[in-house]
Amino acid sequence: MLVRMAMENPSWLAMIAISPFAKLVSTMNLRKVEKLVCVAVIRTMVSGDRSTMGAHMDKSQDAGIHARHISSVSTLDSEMTEDNGNPIWKNRVESWKEKKNKKKKTSIKVEIEAQVPPEQLMEDKPAADAFQSLSTVIPIPKSKLAPYRTVIIMRLIILGFFFHYRVTNPVDSAFALWLTSVICEIWFAFSWVLDQFPKWYPINRDTYIDRLSARYEREGEPSELAAVDFFVSTVDPLKEPPLITANTVLSILALDYPVDKVSCYVSDDGAAMLSFESFVETADFARKWVPFCKKFSIEPRAPEFYFSQKIDYLKDKVQPSFVKERRAMKRDYEEFKIRINALVAKAQKTPEEGRTMQDGTPWPGNNTRDHPGMIQVFLGYSGARDIDGNELPRLVYVSREKRPGYQHHKKADAENALVRVSAVLTNAPFILNLDCDHYVNNSKAVREAMCFLMDPEVGRYVCYVQFPQRFDGIDRSDRYANRNTVFFDVNMKGLDGIQGPVYVGTGCVFNRQALYGYGPPSMPSLSKSSSSSCSWCGCCSCCCPGKKAPKDPSELYRDAKREELDAAIFNLREIDNYDDYERSMLISQRSFEKTFGLSSVFIESTIMENGGVAESANPSTLIKEAIHVISCGYEEKTEWGKEIGWIYGSVTEDILTGFKMHCRGWRSIYCMPLRPAFKGSAPINLSDRLHQVLRWALGSVEIFLSRHCPLWYGFGGGRLKWLQRMAYINTIVYPFTSLPLIAYCTLPAICLLTGKFIIPTLSNLASVLFLGLFLSIIVTAVLELRWSGVRIEDLWRNEQFWVIGGVSAHLFAVFQGFLKMLAGIDTNFTVTAKAADDAEFGELYIVKWTTLLIPPTTLLIINMVGVVAGFSDALNKGYEAWGPLFGKVFFSFWVILHLYPFLKGLMGRQNRTPTIVVLWSVLLASVFSLVWVRINPFITPLIAQPWPRPALPLIAKF
Weakest mean pLDDT among 218-227, 666-675, 748-757:
748-757
Domain co-membership, 252 together with 366:
yes
CB neighbourhood size of 282 (10 A): 26
Same domain, 786 and 671: no
Average pLDDT over residues 76-97: 41
Burial class (CB in 10 A: 0-12, 13-18, 19+), 402: buried
Q: How far apart are the first and last CA of the chain?
A: 79
| 922 domain-assigned | no
Does 410 belong to an annotated binding site?
A: yes
Helix ranges restricted to H, 314-377: 322-347
* Count of domains for the chain: 2
Nearest partner of 799 among 478, 458, 539, judged by Cα: 478
Q: What is the mean pLDDT of residues 31-50?
A: 37
Residue 537 lies in a domain: no
Alpha-carbon distance of 338 to 583, in angstroms, equals 58
Q: Is 548 annotated as a binding residue?
A: no
Average pLDDT value for residue range 472-493: 86
The DSSP letter of residue 54 is G
Determine contact, residues 538/691, Cβ cutoff 8 Å: no
Residue 359 falls within a domain, yes or no?
A: yes
Residue 567 banded pLDDT, cuts 50, 70, 90: very low
d(C-alpha 125, C-alpha 218), whole Å: 11
Over the Cα atoms of the chain, what is R_g?
Answer: 32
Do residues 356 and 363 touch, judged by C-beta distance below 8 A? yes
Give the Cβ contact number of residue 406 at 10 Å.
15
Domain boundary among 902, 926, 947: 902
- 676 and 721 together in one domain: no
pLDDT at 655 over 80: yes
CATH of the domain at 672: 3.90.550.10
* b (16+ CB within 10 A) / e for 409-429: bbbbbbbbbbbbbbbbbbbbb
Query: Is position 435 annotated in a ligand binding site?
Result: yes
Region 215-226: mean pLDDT is 88
At residue 253, does pLDDT exceed 50?
yes
Q: Is the pLDDT of residue 522 over 70?
A: no
- pLDDT tens profile 120-164: 444 444 455 556 888 999 989 999 999 999 999 999 999 999 999
In eight-state DSSP terms, residue 486 is: H
Residues 234-249: tens digit of each pLDDT: 988 888 889 999 999 9
**Cα(815)–Cα(851) distance, integer angstroms:** 13
- Is the distance from CB of 500 to CB of 506 less than 8 angstroms? no
Nearest CA to 270 out of 232, 238, 235 is that of: 235
* Domain, as residue range, for 491: 210-218+241-520+640-682
Q: In this predicted structure, what is the pLDDT of residue 257?
A: 93
pLDDT value of position 446 = 94
pLDDT at 783 over 70: yes
pLDDT of residue 739 exceeding 50? yes
Average pLDDT over residues 405-428: 89
As a three-state string, the secondary structure of 844-857 is HHCCCCCHHHHHHH
Identity of the amino acid at 627: I
Question: Which residues have C-beta within 8 Å of that of residue 688, sequence separation ≥ 6?
Answer: 832, 833, 843, 848
The total of other beta-carbon atoms located within 10 Å of residue 900's CB is 14
Q: Which residues contact 300 (CB under 8 A, 6 or more apart)?
A: 251, 306, 439, 440, 441, 442, 443, 679
Which residues 6+ apart lie within 8 Å of 386 measured at CB? Answer: 286, 287, 288, 290, 291, 392
CB half-sphere exposure, 293, CA atoms < 13 A = 28
Banded pLDDT at 311 (limits 50, 70, 90)? confident
Residue 8 domain-assigned (yes or no): no
Q: Among residues 553, 384, 446, 14, which one has the least CA distance to residue 212?
A: 446
Residue-wise DSSP of 262-291? EEEEEEETT--HHHHHHHHHHHHHHHHHHH
What one-character DSSP code corresponds to residue 140?
A: P
783 and 891 inside one domain: yes
3-class DSSP assignment, residue 77: coil
Most confident of the ranges 76-80, 568-572, 608-612: 608-612
Q: Which of 79, 82, 74 is nearest to 49 (CA)?
A: 79
Closest CA to 522 of 549, 554, 499, 551: 554
SS3 assignment, position 393: coil
In a shared domain, residues 182 and 327: no
From the list 28, 34, 71, 26, the residue with the least C-alpha distance to 53 is 71
- Most confident segment among 18-22, 319-323, 937-941: 319-323
Percentage with pLDDT > 90 across the chain:
30
pLDDT in tens, 928-951: 665 555 555 444 444 444 444 444
* Mean pLDDT of the region 762-766: 76
Instruction: For residue 309, tell me if it sits in a domain.
Output: yes
Same-domain status, 721 and 763 = yes
- 371 phi/psi in degrees, rounded to 5: -155, 155
From residue 852, give the alpha-carbon distance in Å to each of 739, 911, 923: 15, 19, 16
Q: Is 224 annotated as a binding residue?
A: no
Q: Is 411 annotated as a binding residue?
A: yes
Say how far apart CA 196 and CA 682 lie, in whole Å. Answer: 27
| pLDDT above 50: residue 64 | no
The two beta strands, 374-379 and 394-399, are antiparallel
Claim to verify: residue 746 and residue 674 sit in the same structural domain: no
Residues with a known catalytic role: 269, 654
Domain assignment present for 300: yes
| Distance from chain centroid for Cα 754 | 47
Residue 131, CB-side half-sphere exposure with 13 Å CA sphere: 9
Alpha helices in 734-877 (DSSP H): 738-754, 764-788, 792-806, 809-822, 854-877
pLDDT in tens, 850-861: 788 888 888 888
**In the structure, what pLDDT confidence band is assigned to residue 492 with cuts at 50, 70 and 90?**
very high
- φ, ψ for residue 934 (rounded to 5)? -80, -45
Same domain, 741 and 863: yes
Residue among 780, 843, 934, 623 nearest 158 (CA): 780
Strand order in the sheet with 470-472: 438-440, 678-681, 470-472
d(CA 153, CA 288): 59
418/320 same-domain check: yes
The phi, psi pair for 670, rounded to 5°, reads -105, 120
pLDDT at residue 837 in the model:
42
One-letter amino acid identity for 567? Answer: A
Looking at the structure, tell me whether residues 365 and 460 fall in a common domain.
Answer: yes
What is the average pLDDT across 183-207?
93
The count of other CB atoms within 10 Å of the CB of residue 919 is 10
Neighbours of 408 (CB within 10 A): 17
Same domain membership, residue 412 and residue 283 = yes
Q: How far is CA 145 from CA 155, 202, 955, in A?
A: 15, 9, 44
Q: Are residues 661 and 809 in the same domain?
A: no
Does 457 map to a domain? yes
Which residues neighbour 149 within 8 Å (Cβ) at sequence distance 6 or greater?
Answer: 200
Contact 554, 583 (CB under 8 A): no
Lay out the sheet containing 508-511: strands in order across. 374-379, 394-399, 262-268, 228-234, 430-435, 508-511, 462-466, 667-670
C-alpha 466/C-alpha 715 separation (Å) is 25
Beta bridge partner(s), residue 75: 52
Give the per-residue pLDDT at 518: 86
For the stretch 785-818, pLDDT in tens is 989 888 898 899 899 899 999 999 899 999 888 8
Task: Name the strand (E) or helix (H) holding 57.
Answer: none
CA separation for the pair 868, 889 (Å, rounded) = 10
| Collapsed DSSP state (helix, strand, coil) of residue 164 | helix
pLDDT, mean over the chain: 75
In a domain, 795, yes or no: yes
